Amino acid sequence: MQKEPEYDDTEAIEPSKTQRKKDMHALQAIGEQLVELDPKKLAEFDLPEILTDAIALARPMQKHGARRRQLQYIGRLMREIDALPIQQKLDSWQQNSKHQTARLHQLERWRDRLLNDEHALTEFAQQYPQADLQRLRLLIRNAQKEKAAEKPPKSFRLLFQELQGIIVEV
């Protein structure tokens, strides 16, 4: 009877070539996000100077080939640092941006409803009892008059600002 070869489970299994490529592309994608950030937000990361310089060089590059090579270089530099905290911070910023966008859409929907539906103000008052209805009525009426007279939308903007103060969270 032949003896089975023994395998040591504690031995580290090297990642496959496919997995290494996926990891490199992921680091390169993080690097690309860093290139797109404005300098103030980029300064919030404690990045090595060589990586910061590489990011600064990539920003003005317009030619696809040169930019691609620079992003690959940034990805290579990213292998030297822990990218997880950077990715987490970028994800949280993106999530905040999504929440802010959703809130703005909600405010725009309310403004449109208030301007076009006469029953919307009653519904708004029920949902937001702290609202100053008299001020809202005035802004709605003025915004409708401005639109009819094709004047600049001053009250239209003021109505949006008023709604921002009333509706604080989505």
The one-digit pLDDT tens for each residue of the chain (170 residues) are 566 656 555 566 888 889 888 888 888 888 888 888 888 888 888 888 898 899 889 988 888 888 889 989 988 888 888 888 888 888 888 888 888 888 889 999 999 999 898 888 889 989 888 888 899 999 999 999 998 898 888 989 998 999 988 887 54
Report the amino acid identity of residue 98. K
Which domain, by its residues, includes 108? 100-166
Clarify whether residues 160 and 104 are in a common domain: yes
Task: Provide the pLDDT for residue 117.
Answer: 87
Q: What is the CATH number of the domain that holds 116?
A: 1.10.60.30
- What residues contact residue 111 under an 8 Å CB cut-off, 6+ apart? 156, 159, 160, 163
Average of per-residue pLDDT values in the chain = 85
Clarify whether residues 110 and 56 are in a common domain: no
Rounded CA gap, 111 and 154, in Å? Answer: 14
Rounded CA gap, 15 and 133, in Å? Answer: 64
140 found inside a domain: yes
Is the alpha carbon torsion for 50, 52, 55, 59 positive or negative? negative
Clarify whether residues 122 and 150 are in a common domain: yes
Task: Provide the pLDDT for residue 10.
Answer: 59
8 found inside a domain: no
Clarify whether residues 106 and 48 are in a common domain: no
Task: Provide the pLDDT for residue 170.
Answer: 41
Of 159, 131, 165, 163, nearest to 147 (Cα)?
159
pTM of the model: 0.52
- What residues contact residue 66 under an 8 Å CB cut-off, 6+ apart? none
Task: Provide the pLDDT for residue 134.
Answer: 92
